[in-house]
């Protein structure tokens, strides 16, 4: 496995790479969710590139950029064990050199949920993903369903800008207790970890309500909120949204997204589930 830190060196290495080529964009501190993306890329591509870059432009001024967990040495070991060919680990100066003053912004899908809670976040995401796609030129790029809104935004980005890449969205990977894998789980102490599992329990409660035939938003969201209330968690948002355009949904109809974000201790956690009325 090669570890590369400059765009010029990466492009030189990829000029001789076998196709198809898969890209897994990450901010490092690898957990089982990241590793599942690497395995998906490895199973379908001759060459796998993983980017390892904590992107400052997607953090707000009062967010956890400085505290975001990092362990590059461990990350490189884990990537190599998964058969990754190249880890691209650039510096901030390599990605955003002096004079950099260009952004990429997707409208519509970025205006609710995470976009409303974290102004400017998606501008940072879409800019860095566009740069990575341009630098690497992959045939496919791999993202996790846990960041459902991000996956929708990236899919729209490549569609709108005619970027020739296939976006693969892989299932959320969970701890045995249901907690969705996240680098920010490292912030949780034992008591907070127990409370944080209420997010996944809330989603399962909503799934059960739909399975029982109650598909109106009030019933679905109410069942999820009951679980959060029992754990003393006040969500930043808990909303039922259309999976196509993220507009508010009055009922589960086709594939509908129930998304939640909440703070537990120092950790801001997100999770979601796709709900479908099986009668339709």
Q: Which residues are the active-site residues? A: 34
SS3 of the chain: helix, strand, coil, percent, to 5? 40, 20, 40
Q: Strand pairing partners for 89?
A: none
**Of 246, 195, 240, residue with least CA distance to 221:** 240
Please give the torsion angle defined by the CA atoms of residues 151, 156, 159 and 164, in that order, rounded to the nearest 10 degrees: -30
User: Residue 219's CB: how many other CB atoms inside 10 A?
Assistant: 17
Radius of gyration of the chain (CA): 19
* Strand 140-144 with 86-88, pairing: unpaired
C-alpha span between 255 and 275 (Å, rounded): 6
Distance CA 214, CA 225 (A): 15
Instruction: List the one residue out of 259, 261, 118, 269 whose CA is nearest residue 188.
Output: 269
């Amino acid at each position: 496995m090669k570890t590369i830190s400059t765009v010029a060196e990466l492009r030189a290495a990829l000029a001789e790479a076998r196709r198809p080529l898969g890209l897994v964009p990450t901010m490092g501190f690898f957990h089982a969710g990241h590793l599942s993306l690497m395995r998906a890329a490895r199973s379908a591509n001759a060459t796998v590139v993983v980017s390892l870059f904590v992107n400052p432009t997607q953090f707000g001024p009062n967010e956890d950029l400085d505290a975001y967990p990092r362990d590059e040495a461990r990350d490189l070991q884990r990537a190599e064990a998964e058969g990754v060919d190249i880890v691209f680990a650039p510096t901030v100066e390599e990605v955003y050199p002096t004079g950099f003053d260009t952004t990429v912004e997707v409208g519509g899908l970025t205006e609710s949920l995470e976009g409303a809670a974290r102004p400017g976040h998606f501008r940072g995401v879409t800019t860095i993903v566009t740069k990575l796609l341009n630098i690497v030129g992959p045939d496919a790029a791999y993202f996790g369903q846990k960041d459902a809104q991000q996956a929708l935004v990236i899919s729209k980005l490549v569609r709108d800008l005619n970027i020739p890449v296939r976006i693969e969205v892989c299932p959320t990977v969970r701890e045995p207790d249901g907690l969705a894998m996240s680098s920010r789980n490292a912030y949780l102490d034992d008591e907070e970890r127990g409370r944080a599992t209420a997010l996944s329990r809330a989603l399962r409660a909503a799934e059960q309500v739909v399975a029982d035939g109650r598909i109106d938003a009030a019933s679905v969201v109410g069942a999820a909120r009951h679980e959060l209330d029992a754990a003393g968690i006040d969500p930043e948002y808990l909303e039922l949204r259309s999976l196509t355009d993220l507009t508010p949904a009055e009922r589960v109809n086709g594939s509908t997204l129930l998304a939640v974000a909440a703070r537990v201790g120092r950790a801001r956690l997100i999770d979601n589930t796709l709900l479908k009325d099986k009668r339709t």
